[in-house]
Structure 1
Amino acid sequence: MTVFVAACIQLRSGKDISENTARAEELIRAAAADGATFVQTPEMSNVLVRSREELAARIDVLERDPFVAMARRICAELGIFLHVGSVAVLLDGGKAANRAVLIAPGGAIVETYDKIHMFDVDLPGGESWRESSTYRPGEKVPVVDLPFGKLGMAICYDVRFPALFRAQARLGAEILTAPAAFTRQTGQAHWHVLQRARAIENGAYVISAAQGGRHEDERETFGHSLIVDPWGGVVAELDNDTPGHVVAEIDLGKVARARARIPAIANEREFDCRMTEAVRGEPA
């Protein structure tokens, strides 16, 4: 069975794309030096800015994004697979895409994924998010057959929608991903349990690089980049919100063993779900 080393890069992206790109490159090189051949960065690796107008003024189309250009160059140089957790890229019509990009060792873009589920919420304490006002949601969920295993792509809030990951697992995905910029508030409550749940219920590795700390636009993200094994064990964690990297050995034999012990995917059955209205009658 395939064994390889994966890495999560934890960032604290700000408004300056060139600064974010330079810091990420340093950390990617450090992860590769530690033996990683698959490296993942977090959601919104290129820029984090709350204002829709300011974001639109800073980003460009994917083909001209400086972060993606750096990622392609470093993959070609270091011979690694790089999963850019996501970048904000400009679309026609005034909106952006929250787009993950998977890059091969030669520097070619293998696959992209646009985040499907938009985080539209009002949180206690006055924090409010309306991703749908800025980003156009995607419609397709990929599974990529890589030399070392089958990988499913997702982003952040997607992790709360188990059907997405189950669909990937049914197609054979052995590695699931949820690179994120989780808010501190929701991260403290749910980050670890959601990552572990997706791993356990699908018998798959889950790799999730994260943003961490207080950003220029005043948001706070949780950090705690994680790699979880198919039995739900945390095999690597950057246990803070500071930029850095963490590596772990991925043994895809554990996927086969977990799915043999708990064959939840194989045992699934179709069923009907319906609402029943109770009828109140007079007692006999």
Structure 2
Amino acid sequence: MTEDQKLLGPTYYAIALQTAVDAVNGCQSQAEAAEVITRTLNRLAREIPASKRFIGPDTKLFVLPEYFLTAYPLGDTIEGWAQKASIRTDGPEYEALGRIAQDNKIYLAGNAYELDDHFPGLYFQSCFIIAPSGDVILRYRRLNSMFAPTPHDVWDKYLDLYGLEGVFPVARTEIGALAAIASEEILYPEIVRCLAMRGAEIFLHSTGEMGNMTNTPKNIARKARALENMAYVISANAGTIRGHELPCAATDGRSALIDYQGQTLAESGWGETMTAYGAIDLNALRRYRRRPGMGNFLARQRFELFAESYATLGSQKANTLLNDKGHHRIPDRTHFMTTQTDCIARLARKNVI
């Protein structure tokens, strides 16, 4: 078998499903929030097979928006949101999503607020990928968040539990090497690069953003991340957020598929839709990555040039929620603004900013 033959991979269709998000913010109890989540899961169990029938039987990958089960916290405490809106890794929500993946013979990616028994009282914003078997094959916890706990805030304990490969996971599947990016993290090239360095070919970007007509930061960034990492980016935004204090179309629209040269293959308008779909050609991608030339940005990288600068000029500190004995604390939301303010002062002292 030649090297070219080893590269052969399938061509299939993928959908960034711009579905509605029903918020649980106004729910007064965990039981009431669970009812909203169940209605969302039941709706997806209808929307996903209908979308696959419309696009075709070779549709093998669906990406759902950020926080599609709950919307995002607005005024809730860390503990309150953990109790009301966060799901367990072995909970009924994942069972229902697994059945959808199984019934439709698809890979299903999304994003949810998730509990971890090792960190009681906290939650992490998690991206997941479910295989056609119904099993969760990848779980990525958001590393950069403005007002929520992340693995970096409990870094030493998190690394002991999950290791660096658990921080930057890549799932090698029959439809390619898949990795997940959470919303705003598309703006941070280092996160995506660390996944690309581990072989990621297709980035599944569950996002919640203001999809207006301008070149928004995220719209620019997803093209840049695709181009510089020579990878597909599938970005799913919400179709509307109902039951929230903001206008329902405030974070809505412009879900997109971007190819490995930074070109938009498909892009949705506004509202609930499945129009952001297109073909993923793994063979073409893999040939492109193996081709010598000016455009092979992965092969031309010199990572060791940057290691010392990152190590010595770093900004936000690790373990801000972990004490010397390895025990975590539950913060209020002001903690995250305080750590950023301290970081700005530190960068100013170093004449970085």
TM-score range, shorter chain: 0.7 to 0.9
2:76 aligns to what?
Answer: 52
* Distance change >3 Å, CA 74–CA 187, structure 1 → 2: farther
Residues 198 and 232 from structure 1, CA distance in 2 versus in 1: closer, same or farther, beyond 3 angstroms? same
Q: Are 2:206 and 2:237, in contact at CA under 8 Å, matched by a contact in 1?
A: yes
* Distance change (3 Å), C-alpha of 1:192 and 1:60: closer
- Establish whether residue 263 from structure 1 lines up as the match of residue 271 from structure 2: no
What letter matches 2:193 in structure 1?
R
Aligned to 1:23: 43
Shift of 1:233: 1.0
Partner of 2:257: 227
- Which structure's residues are more often helix, by fraction? 2
Cα shift at 1:69: 2.2
2:111 alignment partner in structure 1 = 86
What is the Cα deviation at residue 178 of structure 1? Answer: 1.7
8 Å contact from structure 2 (residues 212, 253) kept in 1? no
**Aligned counterpart for 1:166 among listed residues 180, 183, 193:** 193
Q: Which of 13, 17, 29 does residue 9 from structure 1 map onto?
A: 17
Find the partner of 1:243 among 264, 272, 277: 272
* Conserved 8 A contact 1:181-1:212: no
Match of 1:147 in 2: 174
Per the TM alignment, residue 228 of structure 1 is displaced from its structure 2 partner at its CA by 0.4
Read off the aligned partner of 1:149 and give its amino acid letter.
Answer: G
Partner of 1:203: 230
Instruction: Report how far residue 144 of structure 1 moved.
Output: 0.9
Partner residue of 1:98?
Answer: 125
With over 3 angstroms needed to count, the CA separation of the structure-2 counterparts of 1:258 and 1:239, relative to structure 1, is farther
Query: Which residue in 2 is equivalent to 1:281?
Result: none
> What's the offset of the Cα at 1:65?
4.1
User: What amino acid maps onto 1:266 in structure 2?
Assistant: A
Q: 1:234 offset after TM fit, Å?
A: 0.8
Q: In the alignment, which residue of structure 2 is the partner of 1:73?
A: 99
Question: Which residue is equivalent to 1:253?
Answer: 283
Count of residues in correspondence between the two structures: 261
More strand by share: 1
- Residue identity opposite 1:243 in structure 2: E
1:108 is displaced (CA, Å) by: 1.4
Identity of aligned residues (%): 23
One-letter code aligned to 1:69: E
| Structure 2: distance between partners of 1:214 and 1:191 | 19
The Cα of 1:81 is off from its aligned counterpart by: 1.3
Q: Distance in 1 between matches of 2:209 and 2:128?
A: 19
| Superposition deviation, residue 61 in structure 1 | 1.5
Tell me what 1:192 maps to: 219
Q: Which residue of 1 aligns with 2:334?
A: none
